[in-house]
Amino acid sequence: MYLADTNILIRFLLRNDPAYQPIRRAVTLLKTRQERIVTSAQNMVEFWRVCTRPLEQNGLGLTVEATEQRLRLLERHFPVLADDARTYAEWKLIVLNHRVMGKQVHDARLVASMTVQGVTRVLRQM
């Protein structure tokens, strides 16, 4: 099972992005191989943030309605992992055991979600 990272979610829908075609091909190939590609609530929150952030702040400048439409499309392609107390408990163990600080706490939360749900790989843009 693969976790689709936020950069995959964003570029999966941006036809004018140079990464659009390679990402679409990768997703199609993985699905052809019967691989499951999922995402997390956190990735969807990050997707929303980028979509609704103004263009001048490196966002896409989309409306709430346009963003919701894209979110629904992504939900059809990438099921969202359950986010529950087990994920929080795993995240807490990770940040304490590895002394995680700053922005890395967000990545630790993704790792916690993946661990709890049995996701072993990340699909992300290089």
Domain range enclosing 73: 2-82+119-123
pLDDT of residue 54: 96
Question: CB under 8 Å to 115, separation ≥6 — which residues?
Answer: 90
Q: What is the pTM of this model?
A: 0.88
pLDDT of residue 41: 93
How many distinct structural domains can be found in the chain? 1
Is position 88 within any domain? Answer: no
Give the DSSP per-residue string, 7-40.
HHHHHHH-TTSTTHHHHHHHHHHHHHTT--EEB-
Is position 77 within any domain? Answer: yes
Residues of the chain with pLDDT under 50: none
pLDDT of residue 124: 86
Is position 91 within any domain? Answer: no
pLDDT of residue 50: 96
Is position 113 within any domain? Answer: no
Is position 97 within any domain? Answer: no
